[in-house]
Amino acid sequence: MKKHLFAGIIFLSASLILTGCNDDSSSKMTASDEERLKKEAQVLDYTTMSESGIEEETKVVIEGVVTSADNYVNNDVIPARTQFRLEKNDDSIHYWVENVSDDRFKLNSYIKVYGIYKGIDPDSLVPVVEGQVVEIVDEDVTDDNEGS
């Protein structure tokens, strides 16, 4: 009896451990998904996005400078799965990006974000984009401005 109980406990423990080790690869974008998103994403102006002129779940591409983030680590690196603020030209034009990609970049990087328009943040009235792919255009724009 004890052998069967012990074997059952081991079997149950092993199955729970293996289930916990699932890497959830279904949530990661494949290369073809990424290319499809880049082809289908629309470049929309800030006014259209901020005035709810487009439907939620529209594929969009935005770009700008990362000026702040909910979390960052050594040397201002923004880890994956972090929400950040992306400014276009100045403080008056900015977006909230909910980064669901595994891409890493730094504060003050000029980036291009391909993602899904999620609507307007009710508190700040700023467009929200779920960032699925992040491309670094310029690693640190503050270096570019220091010589000016």
pLDDT category, 112, cuts 50, 70, 90? very high
Predicted TM-score (pTM) of this structure: 0.76
Residue 4's pLDDT is: 47
**Domain at 64, CATH number:** 2.40.50.200
**Domain of 40, in residue numbers:** 32-140
pLDDT of residue 28: 76
**15 within a domain of the structure (yes/no):** no
Q: What is the pLDDT of residue 80?
A: 82
User: How many Å apart are CA 13 and CA 7, to the nearest integer?
Assistant: 10
128 part of a folded domain:
yes
Identify whether 116 is part of a domain.
yes
Between 93 and 148, whose confidence is greater? 93
Q: Which residue, among 105, 70, 94, 72, has the nearest Cα to 84 in the 3D structure?
A: 70
Number of DSSP helices (H) and strands (E) in the chain, helices first: 4, 8
Task: Please give the distance of CA 79 from its chain centroid, rounded to a whole number.
Answer: 10
Residues in the chain: 148
- Tell me if 44 is assigned to some domain: yes
| Residue 93: C-alpha distances to residues 13, 62, 147 (Å) | 52, 11, 25
Nearest to 136 by CA among 30, 63, 58, 39: 63
Q: Which one is predicted more confidently, 69 or 18?
A: 69
**Domain assignment present for 27:** no
Confidence (pLDDT) at 144: 59
The number of folded domains in the chain is 1
Q: Could you tell me which residue, 66 or 21, shows the higher pLDDT?
A: 66
pLDDT, tens only, 86-101: 998 766 899 999 999 9
pLDDT tier at 143, thresholds 50, 70, 90? low
Q: pLDDT tens digits for 18-35?
A: 334 434 434 578 999 999
Say what the pLDDT of residue 94 is: 94
